[in-house]
């Protein structure tokens, strides 16, 4: 919760600065209003508590009533929350609350589309570290609300040996060997591979998870057959809503999708005074 409050505080300081000039010169300070948050399109909801916390941070006296819960499917025209309080406070919090709510709901909505696309296969959809700097905790939460799962949170909580690590270490076998000597037995070792020869090297070296990066459907199938359950298999690269079902059909365990957090279009939500 501390991380979320820090995000909110930073965003409010950025937006309000020395004060909301427009509100100060047009709205009486004692004006009390009732407002609603309204969906302007269909989407999967995420960030409703975060939006409420924005308004509470601006003015603790603002009343905030959620009408739905994160993870719900919202329809166009549906009211998702009521607010009552100082008009000035609501106006100061409006843009930050909506920015966060719209982005989080967009991520949840896109994630839900990917999850639906691989339904009936064993593949799970996971996110990546391609998040907006400073917003990762919110982005990752939103993926979960859309039915996806989280990959590592940052560089600190997982071993993922990628192309440049391999080059710097002197090869796949050497990179995995070094990792095995230093990480605890409770931590899995994942390595990125670009072709079937590298898959073979990763298997021989004892990788726990093998990432198949930007491989064709045929290469994915061959890799899955060769690995044969000896390691978890993650597919990455070239994943979109048109290709994800075919990727899942190859038998991979995990599909990581950077687009979940780096290419979303904000959900359309408005705050309207009653």
Q: Is 92 a catalytic residue?
A: no
Distance CA 117, CA 120 (A): 9
> Directed axis angle between helix 48-58 and helix 2-16, to 10°?
60
Given the residues 73, 162, 226, 265, the one annotated as active site? 162
Spatial neighbors of 42 by CB under 8 A, at least 6 apart, are 73, 74, 75, 76
What sign has the CA pseudo-torsion 239, 167, 222, 207? negative
Those residues whose C-beta lies under 8 Å from the C-beta of residue 189, and which sit 6 or more positions away, are: 159, 161, 176, 179, 180, 183, 206, 207, 208, 209
Catalytic residue, chosen from 129, 130, 149, 178, is 130
Is 162 one of the catalytic residues? yes
Q: Active-site residue among 190, 192, 198, 253? A: 192
SS3 label, residue 176: helix
Which of the 8 DSSP states describes residue 201? H
130 part of the active site: yes
What gap in Å lies between CA 136 and CA 270, rounded to an integer? Answer: 24
For β-strands 63-66 and 79-86, DSSP reports them as antiparallel
Among candidate residues 70, 94, 213, 253, the one labeled active-site is 213
49 flagged as catalytic: no
- 163 catalytic? Reply is no
Residue 169 is encoded by which pair of tokens? 């270490």
Distinct helix (H) and strand (E) counts, the chain: 11, 12
- Rounded to 10°, the helix 196-205/217-227 angle is 20
Of 95, 129, 178, 180, which is the active-site residue?
95
Catalytic residues: 95, 130, 162, 192, 213
């Amino acid at each position: 919760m501390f991380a979320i409050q820090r995000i909110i505080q930073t965003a409010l300081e950025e937006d309000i600065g020395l004060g909301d000039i427009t509100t100060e010169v047009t709205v009486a300070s004692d004006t009390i209003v009732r407002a609603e948050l309204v969906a302007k399109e269909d989407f999967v909801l995420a960030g409703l508590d975060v939006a409420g916390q924005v308004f509470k941070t601006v003015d603790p006296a603002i009343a905030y009533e959620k009408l739905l819960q994160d993870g719900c499917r919202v329809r166009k025209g549906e009211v998702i929350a009521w607010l009552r309080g100082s008009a000035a406070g609501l106006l100061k919090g409006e843009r930050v609350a909506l920015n966060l709510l719209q982005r989080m709901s967009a991520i949840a909505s896109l994630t839900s589309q990917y999850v639906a696309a691989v339904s009936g296969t064993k593949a799970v959809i996971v996110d990546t570290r391609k998040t907006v700097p400073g917003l990762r905790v919110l982005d990752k939460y939103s993926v979960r609300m859309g039915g996806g799962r989280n990959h590592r949170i940052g560089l600190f909580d997982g071993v993922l040996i990628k192309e440049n690590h391999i080059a710097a270490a002197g090869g796949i076998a050497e990179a995995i060997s070094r990792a095995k000597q230093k990480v605890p037995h409770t931590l899995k070792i994942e390595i990125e591979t670009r072709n079937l020869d590298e898959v073979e090297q990763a298997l021989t070296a004892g990788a726990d998870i093998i990432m198949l990066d930007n491989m064709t459907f045929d290469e994915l199938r061959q890799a899955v057959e060769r690995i044969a359950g000896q390691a978890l298999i993650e597919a990455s690269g070239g994943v979109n809503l048109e290709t994800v079902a075919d990727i899942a059909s190859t038998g991979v365990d995990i599909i990581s999708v950077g687009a979940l957090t780096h290419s979303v279009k904000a959900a359309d939500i408005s705050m309207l005074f009653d």
